[in-house]
Structure 1
Amino acid sequence: MNLHSPAETRTREIGIIMNGATGRMGYRQHLVRSILAIRDAGGIELADGSRVTVKPLLVGRSISTLAELAAQHDIEDYTTDLDAALADPRWEIYADFLVTKARSTALRKAIAAGKTIYTEKPTAESLEEALELARLADEAGVKTGVVHDKLYLPGLQKLKRLIDSGFFGRILSVRGEFGYWVFEGDWQPAQRPSWNYRAEDGGGIIVDMFPHWNYVLENLFGEVQSVYAEAAVHVKDRWDEAGEHYDATAEDAAYGIFELEGGVVAQINSSWTVRVNRDELVEFQVDGTHGSAVVGLFGAKIQPRNATPKPVWNPDLEDAHDYDGDWQRVPTNEVFINGFRQQWEDFLVSYVVGTPYPFDLLAGARGVQLAEAGLRSSREGRKVALQPLTVHAQESDA
């Protein structure tokens, strides 16, 4: 007689401190679309048949805001006392979605408390600080994870399959276009917070986007070896959330050229002052000897070399060729879940099973390194080389 019901599945509940979950990204992507989605689905099934589920603790500054959010989403626990939360052994993981200026202090506390860490990027305001955090976590034996969400986008997952299959032959170049028009805030409210446009508050598109470009480039094409960047404050007059005018001091556009290992050259434009004329808000074109691809957040299309047309340059005649028609759509052969949730699930499984996790605080520090190098390149008007990083030492840039 079977004494154990197959329905008696072992389930482990992991308490997660969610600091900054009332913010835009913390709420939408990390709380609602990731942690609560995992909880409401009954957790994650592991290879041995057991399950892992999650229990969030909301941390913020306003107890009334936290209470309202908790009631809305059937969350039992919330507090304004981060120190007490870190001291409570029920909460195993500290997750950070604060503004960049506040992140380092909170991460230091979490490391000192021995908590496993999962954090947004950039991980710090400076490379020195980012490396110190990575070193402190390493010395404390703390497992860490840094958000690398764009790698989990359906379009980039399709691109990864193309790369792994050898579709491109030898990859020559990558061209990226990211951005959209962010309203100034006078005649129409801005879609982004005003601190994004104040350097003194940690704003700027280089700090915001170059850490993304670093992990996209290094995980798909090769590590970034040098950068040349031009930063610009195109729109200097902006209005904040209260309708008050302020002078923008942080760049709203950056034009970068990145040299990658293996000779691949990447060009990526990042802008909050561009009107969209492409299928998606971000698109990458990858050109190789055997084929090319254009991918976005979701879509992907390819053009192999044996289906490449033979354009002839003649500025005296109108070109009636339909170049868009020469591309073939890559089918969606699998169901992709939200990228933030997918990375959360991967991190939680790695934490429970005890496997190494590649997107750690050192990976986050490389993103900060690229942002610092981009800002330095723009200031000095030259190409800046990037040196390999370790948690114990940092060689100075050339």
Structure 2
Amino acid sequence: MTRRTVRIAMNGVTGRMGHRQHLVRSVLALREQGGLDLGDGTVLWPEPVLLGRRAPTLKALAEHHGLEHWSTDVEAVLADPATDIYFDAQVTSAREDAVKAAIAAGKHVYCEKPTATGLRGALEIARLAHAAGVKHGVVQDKLFLPGLRKLKRLIDGGFFGRILSVRGEFGYWVFEGDWQEAQRPSWNYRAEDGGGIAVDMFPHWEYLLHELFGPVRTVQAQVATHIPQRWDERGKPYDATADDAAYGIFQLEGGVVAQINSSWAVRVHRDELVEFQVDGTQGSAVAGLRGCRVQHRSATPKPVWNPDFPPETRFREQWLDVPDNGDFGHAFKAQWELFLRHVVLDEPWRWDLFAGARGVQLAELGLQSSAEGRRLEVPELAP
């Protein structure tokens, strides 16, 4: 067995997502399993280089995980011929320039979403990467979650018949930060820093709808800032200038209608933090992050509206769980494996920066729809 090292410059690993999901549970998890077996007698060994602005934090993180390479000099790391891939999980406002620099240095690029603060920037980096001939990808982790993969299995198997509609509910109560510490960073609630739930979540909904049900053709949205004042990491109050809730209706190619509510100001009365109900002529399903339940046409109850008496039927109990039928693995790690195989073996890959640009476009149009109070068409993007 031959071991081949691929060096990955990882920028933004001191943040929650970059550290937990990408560094620890993806790249380091691959190392813990002995590398990525490419199936041709070669094992790919990821060698991360931790990047960031705070040297003491990076040094401590590298020592904690037993890693050798870290740096605050992004330019020098990109100039190093040994660097193969640049990964970016910084705040959105810093991503565009960093990705441009990586492309100019001839590095393959993999990054979090949104890929830029606006559609123009997202398309620019996608076109630059294409012109430079480097491999490029954007994280679309929810496609690889067990619940959504079960849902995809149902779609591919024709379970639903003709799909009619999709209803999504996402969110939870993010504490304001005064009497309990907030679970999300304060920049998420400042528009001037790239915050807002629409720019955060609409890119997710775009790729989920696109991949599972069809391209989004129109959007009508309403955003709101329900909590106008919050407290930052130092306990100081600040004005929340970004939306903390977004309510969207999307018409998909083929006629499917999707309605998705996203909120950081909602208390959870669901089995999971995100759930999607899909209704079709032959059956329905409710899928979350991990679970998926179904009800077939033949087992659908016949409710009768009667507000004078309590319901005799427990509707939730009439749904069946979809079995795992296999190990789905970790969602972020699964996509990392596919991207690494794409870089090294040139295997097929469709989650590129143009796909990332579609997500930015939908968020931008959602905000415009809310501001103008009207439904907007979603134009197809030309590469």
TM bracket (short chain): over 0.9
The answer to whether the aligner puts 1:238 opposite 2:230 as a matched pair is yes
TM-score by length of 2: 0.99
Where do residues 31-180 of structure 1 align in structure 2 (5 Å cutoff)? 31-180=23-172
Aligned-partner Cα distance in 2 for 1:145–1:357: 8
The answer to whether the aligner puts 1:209 opposite 2:201 as a matched pair is yes
Aligned-partner Cα distance in 1 for 2:228–2:179: 15
**SS of 2:254's equivalent?**
helix
Which 4+ stretches in 1 moved above 6 angstroms? none
Where do residues 360-375 of structure 1 align in structure 2 (5 Å cutoff)? 360-375=352-367
**SS of 1:12's equivalent?**
strand
The answer to whether the aligner puts 1:198 opposite 2:190 as a matched pair is yes
Q: Which residue of 2 aligns with 1:381?
A: 373
**SS of 1:314's equivalent?**
coil
Aligned-partner Cα distance in 1 for 2:192–2:8: 31
Could you tell me which amino acid in structure 2 is paired with residue 240 of structure 1? D
Shift of 1:356: 3.3
Q: Which residue of 1 aligns with 2:382?
A: 390
Aligned-partner Cα distance in 1 for 2:347–2:142: 22
Q: Which residue of 2 aligns with 1:273?
A: 265
Unaligned runs of 5+ in 2: none
Aligned-partner Cα distance in 2 for 1:356–1:151: 16
Aligned-partner Cα distance in 1 for 2:146–2:208: 13
Could you tell me which amino acid in structure 1 is paired with residue 121 of structure 2? E
The answer to whether the aligner puts 1:322 opposite 2:314 as a matched pair is yes
Unaligned runs of 5+ in 1: 1-8, 392-398
Aligned-partner Cα distance in 1 for 2:95–2:355: 16
Q: Which residue of 2 aligns with 1:256?
A: 248
1:189 aligned residue (167, 173, 181): 181
Per-residue CA deviation, residues 315-369 of structure 1 (Å, 9 max, x unaligned), is 2222121101110011111112110000000110111111231000000000000
Could you tell me which amino acid in structure 2 is paired with residue 384 of structure 1? L
Aligned-partner Cα distance in 2 for 1:215–1:371: 12
Could you tell me which amino acid in structure 2 is paired with residue 257 of structure 1? I
**SS of 1:16's equivalent?**
strand
Could you tell me which amino acid in structure 2 is paired with residue 281 of structure 1? L
Aligned-partner Cα distance in 1 for 2:274–2:186: 22
Q: Which residue of 1 aligns with 2:285?
A: 293
Aligned-partner Cα distance in 1 for 2:314–2:287: 19
Superposition CA RMSD, Å = 0.7
Aligned-partner Cα distance in 2 for 1:125–1:113: 22
**SS of 1:228's equivalent?**
strand
Could you tell me which amino acid in structure 1 is paired with residue 229 of structure 2? D
Aligned-partner Cα distance in 1 for 2:55–2:5: 25
TM-score by length of 1: 0.95
Q: Could you tell me the percent identity over the aligned residues? A: 64
Shift of 1:49: 2.9
Aligned-partner Cα distance in 2 for 1:142–1:96: 15
Per-residue CA deviation, residues 98-128 of structure 1 (Å, 9 max, x unaligned), is 1000000100100000000000000000101
**SS of 1:177's equivalent?**
strand
Q: Which residue of 2 aligns with 1:331?
A: 323
**SS of 1:263's equivalent?**
coil
Aligned-partner Cα distance in 1 for 2:37–2:59: 31
Work out the number of aligned pairs and report it.
383
Aligned-partner Cα distance in 2 for 1:105–1:136: 12
Aligned-partner Cα distance in 1 for 2:358–2:57: 35
**SS of 2:262's equivalent?**
strand
Q: Which residue of 2 aligns with 1:19?
A: 11
